[in-house]
Amino acid sequence: MEGDIRTPVGVIVAAESPLGRAAEAANDLNRHLPTPADPGSCPTCAGRFWPCAYFDDAAARLLTARLRLGDLVPLDLHPRLWPPPAPPDSPQWPAGSSPS
């Protein structure tokens, strides 16, 4: 059974705090996190790859609330959401600029 679910934890925050105001989005985001055993598919949206549209919507709501997704998404999923930036000397970056 290990790897079938991500272990949840309850956290109490003030309702008027940024996370408290975005609690529904945080719950939605976590509801659509993939299992450790199958990081490529959403366990809630049958047959959908991860990140699914519902995860993306919840992530957008959290970003609108000025919360950092990296603090709410498990570390093992970060590479799937945020690939490492290309080096500044790669063709992706215009001459004289650097990633911000």
Q: What is the per-residue pLDDT across 21-76, written as a single tens digit (0 to 9) for each?
A: 999 999 999 999 999 999 999 999 988 999 999 999 999 999 999 999 999 999 99
- End-to-end Cα, the chain, rounded Å: 42
Residue type, 6: R
Residue type, 25: A
Query: Which pTM value belongs to this model?
Result: 0.77
Q: Residue 35 forms beta bridges with which residues?
A: 38
Query: Residue 82 — pLDDT band, cuts 50, 70, 90?
Result: confident
Residue 78 pLDDT > 50, yes or no? Answer: yes
At 99 the pLDDT is 44
Residue 18 pLDDT > 90, yes or no? Answer: yes
